[in-house]
Amino acid sequence: MTQKTIPADTGRSPWWWVPTLYFAEGLPYMAVMTISTIMYKVLGIDNTSLAFYTAWLYLPWVIKPFWSPFVDIIRSKRWWVVTMQWAIAVAMALIALTIPASGFFRLTLAVFWLMAFASATHDIAADGFYMLALSEHRQSLFVGIRSLFYRVSMIVGQGGLVVVAALAGEHWNDDRLGWILVFAILSAFFILMAIYHTAILPRPAADATRAARTFTDTLEEFVNTFVDFFRKPGVLCAILFMLLYRLPEAMLVKMIQPFLIDGPGAGGLGLSVDQVGWVYGTVGVAGLMLGGIVGGLCAARGGLRAWLHPMAWSMSLTCLTFVYLAVARPEELWQAYACVFAEQFGYGFGFTAYMLYLIYFSIGRFKTAHYSICTGFMALGMMLPGMAAGWLADTLGYAGFFIVCMACCAATIGACYLVKVDPSFGKKEKS
């Protein structure tokens, strides 16, 4: 029988480190995926280039299953968490230092690339540490807390920090100084996080034990993990589902901020950067969180199978909001707020089905590793379409681009017919 993992320091409440750990996990992802896009747009990078090159930043999350076993055997999860936070702090500082350079686009992209690898490795270590440092009961108890603080980091990253960059840029009459300030703040924050977590993270015995595994044992388990995954019934249909379900979103997400920022002459709404921070980073995240909560409640009542198609339609139909904004281009700010909220609510509601399916398909001997592989396919499904998003928007205009995104929703709906789900999966058990 497998023994449950008991925290080594039972006197230290998880409240001291679970919120900070997952807040720190979300911020670098926001910096790489969202803040970078807004920054490049403000600093004059064209849509084709910024979409293509920032899409490549997904790659570390695509391939992280290939080096996750080595995080398991080289030192402890605790050591990796703290070390990666130091690495992220250095990367943030380097971005701040390279923004003023003449070739800043290439230089900052290179640093973002390194930070993406550090962030993906931090994800592996943090999730592993969470499972090793907490008992199964406490894992269930704090899963909502970790999710909450990850989403709070989204609000801070997509909203607060973008507003800070805009206001600072206006104050100094130099947009670059605003972004330098933001990344300097982020660097200082991660230095504090690394110091804090060095002192506060518990030292579970299981963490040290797992770090002592041999390379041969880990390599054998690594190979068996992939063999077992690709031998699962319906694996090809499952992979297609993972790649296609988020196809419209993969393109949409790369062009939302540029569309909001570009002026009417370029087919955009002409919002200021601080307005984009409020619209997308706060109102949008609120819609995302509410949609996720409602989606979770619905799935718990009816199960994944019952809600898979309605949730897919939710993700699809809400794409119409950006078609409307691009065609009508309303001057009233409340319409942008309402449309972004509706689109993010629909996405949060529909994304519930996607995440539940990844959990469902991961069930088995290598549950944790298979889930990591599934998330790799998820990241690949975001990366590849995102590369073409900027070129399509520049070629077709924003209205044509969003119509194409809407047409791609057929892939989301069609992907649902590829997979089979146990009717009981996800339902709350009756007492």
pLDDT of residue 8: 43
Do 269 and 125 fall into the same domain? no
Q: What percent of the chain has pLDDT over 90?
A: 35
Residue 211 has pLDDT above 60, yes or no: no
Do 128 and 269 fall into the same domain? no
State how far the Cα of 347 lies from the Cα of 351, in Å rounded to an integer.
Answer: 6
Residue 330 has pLDDT above 60, yes or no: yes
Ranges 70-79, 131-140, 152-161, 404-413, most confident = 404-413
In a domain, 84, yes or no: yes
In a domain, 4, yes or no: no
Mean pLDDT, rounded, of the chain? 85
Q: Where in the sequence is the domain holding 242, given as residue range(s)?
A: 214-420
**4 pLDDT band (50/70/90 cuts)?**
very low
pLDDT of residue 375: 85
In a domain, 95, yes or no: yes
In a domain, 425, yes or no: no
The dihedral through the CA atoms of 153, 369, 249, 144 has a sign that is negative
Do 68 and 193 fall into the same domain? yes
In a domain, 309, yes or no: yes
Do 299 and 199 fall into the same domain? no
Do 29 and 175 fall into the same domain? yes
pLDDT of residue 203: 86
Six token digits for residue 284: 């949008």
Do 296 and 190 fall into the same domain? no
Residue 6 has pLDDT above 50, yes or no: no
Do 402 and 273 fall into the same domain? yes
Tokens 């994800």 belong to residue? 123
| CATH number, domain with residue 140 | 1.20.1250.20
**5 pLDDT band (50/70/90 cuts)?**
very low
Domain count within the chain: 2
pLDDT of residue 75: 80
**20 pLDDT band (50/70/90 cuts)?**
very high
Taking only the tens place, the pLDDT of each residue in 345-372 is 888 888 888 888 887 887 777 777 788 8
In a domain, 428, yes or no: no
pTM, two decimal places: 0.80
Do 93 and 191 fall into the same domain? yes
In a domain, 6, yes or no: no
